[in-house]
Amino acid sequence: MCLAVPGRVLSLTEGDFMNRKGEVQFGGIVKEVNLAFTPEAKVGDYVMVHVGFAISVLAEKEAKEILETLEEIGALEE
């Protein structure tokens, strides 16, 4: 039930706090998402979306670091 799906912000509609929205692309699907909880989200960012709300902006740097650590583990194995 706490399922959240990453999607890319395609466009933003600025509004007051509760009405900040954007179009977010999930693979081939585009949906309107409420961005009230992610005021820092910009076009091109990836957001984690749960029941119609973005709950975080995904940190590219952190994701990269984790994957690089895993590359190193792989290299040690070989």
**Binding residues for another protein (CB under 8 A):** 1-4, 6, 8, 17-18, 26-27, 34, 36-39, 46, 48, 50-53, 55-56, 58-60, 62-63, 65-67, 70-71, 73-74, 77
Neighbour count for residue 23 (Cβ, 10 Å): 16
- The nearer residue to another protein, 14 or 65, going by C-beta atoms, is 65
Q: Which residue has the tokens 């998402």?
A: 33
- The nearer residue to another protein, 30 or 36, going by C-beta atoms, is 36
Rounded to an integer, what distance in angstroms lies between the CA atom of residue 30 and that of residue 43? 14
CB 52, min distance to another protein, A:
3
Indicate the residue type of 65. Answer: E
Rounded to an integer, what distance in angstroms lies between the CA atom of residue 4 and that of residue 53? 9
